Amino acid sequence: MDRTAQLTAHPAEPAVAYDPAAPASSLHLRAVRVLEGNWTGTSTVPSRGLYPHQWSWDSAFIAVGLRHISPLRAQTELETLLDAQWADGRVPHIVFSPSVPLDAYFPSPDFWRSPTAGRAAGAPRTVQTSGIVQPPVHALAAWLVHRADPGLSRARGFLARVHPRLAAWHRYLLHRRDLGGGGLASVVHPWEQGMDNSPCWDAPLSRITPAPARSFRRADLDHGSPEDRPTDLDYGRYVRLATDYRDRGYTDGSVEFAVEDPAFNALLIASEHALARIAHELGATGTARHARAERLTTALIERLWDPAQGMFFCRDVRSGELIFERSVSGLIPLLLPGLPRDLTATLVRTLCGPHFGLGGATRLVPSYDLLGEAFDPHRYWRGPAWFNTSWLVERGLRVHGERERADALREAVLRTADATGFAEYVDPYTGEACGALGFGWTAALTLDLLHDPHGHGVSHGDGVSPTDIGTFDQHSKHVKGVKGGDLG
């Protein structure tokens, strides 16, 4: 039996959840084939051409989808990534494959020089990585992967092995990256937040002197139109920031670019709740983790919420000011169960209003304000809709009881993924495919929505609905008030 057949045949595994014996649809089969085509033997690349290595948050989203067809491979996906963790706790945003030519992707391993430049920070010696990070979705993914097949997970000691690594990852973010002093984690490069050339970065990036164009070669333009990619000026600034960070030995002290981002911190909070569940599964209480998640939710609201604009914004740590650019990042805190009801209602109005147009002008959630001066429906994160952010918003709508809107967004994600050949991202108005096709997280999250359409999951005797992302802590207290709110 070939590998694709093995994945679609749903072999008998103990306590497999999510109705694995259900007949596979053609969309299911095509999504499985994408993941099989992108599988390297130990991890899944986002795409064979443009992104030929392992990416951090991509692998977390991919594991969320893989759990439905092979919980073992989903566990392996996360374990491979965490094997490349640095001693200081950071999980690097790229784990490089030694079989891929250096000129296939830039910045390549010889740019990052992780074994030497990252020695003081504890970079691994046996694998090459980048020196920056990506959003902390990993504990959330690990918990969902565990719940897909608890028997297999316990037999392999999956949670016992990943828990200390995930705890170290969170410690790094909460201690080394609290650059603003307000309790939230900061990103020190636009690539860390994952939305690489969002207009949110324009103001803080304007302070950065770009690296000379002749000092690097952009491999991304071999796979996409320049009109759809970041500009050469932006790329020069990305390279300068990364070079300076590398030359400081990847230390997180005085940095030129430091931004508190709502999506990055919302995912950290969701993963703190998940890490509490993991701790409880391993015999601890998890109480401290839940309390920390509540404190982070309070800090998120106090530092990044603007009631007049009706959404969350990034904060430039250097200037201390909010960056008033409306990005999908400011909607992703919908994922959190502890938001006040009035704040949640306001966020939903913003999502469905003229700036994002969901349910009206747009099919999926655009990455940037439809009315913003920098809006471009095709240029990377300056307007196009992405499947991972739409998935996060869909799950968040369900957390807060917005079932009809969530159902409509789910159907739009599935239709668009199907029609575009699992595109990397799409025009938010027309659904036209942009970027790479056969994209890993698009296929994986399609599988997740097919297998778990309503976010209910399967009860395993403990009253937990594992895929209802907002219910990690059934005893979580809601944050009261918006500005200066306390925990009730």
DSSP state, residue 477: P
The answer to whether 219 and 356 are in contact (CB under 8 A) is no
Strand order across the beta sheet in which 425-426 lies: 385-386, 425-426, 433-434
Instruction: Please report the DSSP string for 214-234 in residue order.
Output: GG---GGGGSS-GGGS--HHH
Reduce the DSSP state of residue 347 to 3 states and report it. helix
Judge whether 314 and 259 are in contact, CB under 8 Å: yes
Q: Is 196 a catalytic residue?
A: yes
Please compute, for residue 338, the number of CA atoms within 13 A of its CA located in the half-sphere on the CB side.
30
Residue 2: both structure tokens together: 């070939």
> Taken in order 336, 274, 73, 468, is the CA torsion positive or negative?
negative
Q: Which of 172, 173, 151, 399 is nearest to 281 (CA)?
A: 151
| Residue 138 CA from chain centroid, whole number | 9
193, 264 contact by CB (below 8 A):
yes
**Diameter of the chain measured on Cα atoms:** 61
Residue 310 in 3-state DSSP?
A: coil
Instruction: Assess contact for 187 and 153: CB atoms under 8 A.
Output: no
19, 451 Cβ separation under 8 angstroms? yes
Phi/psi at 357 (nearest 5 deg)? 65, 20
Helix, coil or strand: residue 316: strand
Start-to-end Cα distance in the chain? 57
Compute the C-alpha angle 321/325/328, nearest 5°.
120
Backbone angles phi, psi at 480, to 5 degrees: -100, 135
Q: How far apart are CA 178 and CA 347, in angstroms?
A: 26
Choice among 88, 196, 234, 369 that is catalytic: 196
Tallying the residues shown for the chain, one arrives at 488
| Active-site residue (options: 260, 424, 448, 473) | 424
Rounded Cα–Cα distance for residues 163 and 173 (Å): 16
Give the span between the Cα atoms of 468 and 456, in whole angstroms.
6
Helix (H, G, I), strand (E, B) or coil at 315: strand
Contacts 24+ apart (CB under 8 A), 222-229: 223/49, 223/50, 223/436, 224/50, 224/435, 224/436, 227/378, 227/379, 228/378, 228/379, 228/380, 228/434, 228/435, 229/379, 229/380
Q: How far apart are CA 129 and CA 110, in angstroms?
A: 10
Give catalytic residues, as residue numbers: 196, 424
